[in-house]
Structure 1
Amino acid sequence: MLAGLFNIVVWPRFAKAIVDDDRAWAGEHWHSEPQAFFWVHAVLITSAIAIGLGVLVVGLRAHRSASR
């Protein structure tokens, strides 16, 4: 459960850092084409958050069933 929560808390902050990185854009941030650096990290971050949500759901269900 904590691993899922960790992923949900940490990865969005990392996403902000990627968006703010000059390597993510061909020119000015949000006003130019995203580069491969941006897309690779976007896929990794999205995957990590989705897996984190899955782990969190499984953890919450296990915690509920154990407390019954």
Structure 2
Amino acid sequence: MVLSRGWSVFLMLVGVWTWVIWPRFAVAIWNDPRAWSAGVVGEGAPTSFLWVHALLIAASLALGTTVGVLGIKGWRASRAAR
């Protein structure tokens, strides 16, 4: 199956969007007092709030990377098919 160039661009943009948004969200979660048992950023043990969000962020970055790579491969395949 060969993706159209339009879908390939869309997938690449989704991959880029993922890498723009999720790291910023990770910083916000890290700086949230709910992420730390002492209620102060960086002090005390990480809470389940931090771990759950870290897992969600990691999964989203992995999926975004996969989608972006598929977009790149689709773009290359559409160029080779011409």
Alignment-derived partner of residue 68 in structure 2: 56
TM-score by length of 1: 0.92
Mark the runs of 5 or more structure 1 residues left unpaired by the alignment.
Answer: none
User: Highest CA radius of gyration, 1 or 2?
Assistant: 2
Other structure's SS at 1:67 match: helix
- Runs (4 or more) in structure 1 with deviation over 6 Å come to none
TM-score by length of 2: 0.78
Alignment-derived partner of residue 30 in structure 2: 19
Q: Paired residue for 2:46, among 16, 31, 34?
A: 34
Superposed CA RMSD: 0.9
Aligned residues: 68
Q: Could you tell me how far 1:45 is from its partner in structure 2?
A: 0.2
Q: Could you report, residue by residue, the CA deviation over 1:1-53 in whole angstroms, capped at 9, with x for unpaired residues?
A: 11111111110000000000010001232231000110010000000000000
Mark the runs of 5 or more structure 2 residues left unpaired by the alignment.
Answer: 1-11
Paired-residue identity, %: 43
Q: Could you tell me how far 1:65 is from its partner in structure 2?
A: 1.2
Other structure's SS at 1:5 match: helix
